[in-house]
Chains A and B, each alone.
Chain A
């Protein structure tokens, strides 16, 4: 079956703009998590959605937001982009959550560059 699909794979934005990233989880998976990966901060948890509700949230400013649709597809949005938002944004899906099944399936990520 198809894996986790993230679009776009690469994008370049300028400071002050906003960006929307999309994630299609594995069919049947209801939990979608988002992570930011940077050389300096490593992998940091942004938020997790389950059945269209945000279930867990990391320590990111309100400029970072997300949502999940009824088909479990998820989007994350970053408004008023800053240079420090340049990162690889990874989406991961699981059936109902990492504690239940013990596995997250990751997409290849969306690499965002902010100029």
Chain B
């Protein structure tokens, strides 16, 4: 089955700096890679996703890059703000007959300091 590794486990940045979180996956058949943000006591919130037919996607301060050859993808947050502080999870999946079964990374605790 799919295995997703995520680094770093914790990341502390100064407000206004950039933050980068990296994930690698094992199954070359995976073709969908979402990123979720989870605040304490809440469910994960989809912030951006990318499919294997593109290499990069951007939405305001958030961008995701995908390297299918190396089987890794990254989340980039620019101009970080205190409200960006949360746990971020990457995930990977290949569409099967039973829907989009996701395999999650272990999470990154991002802290944006004033």
Partners in one complex: no
> Which B residues have a C-beta under 8 Å from some C-beta of A?
none
> Which A residues have a C-beta under 8 Å from some C-beta of B?
none
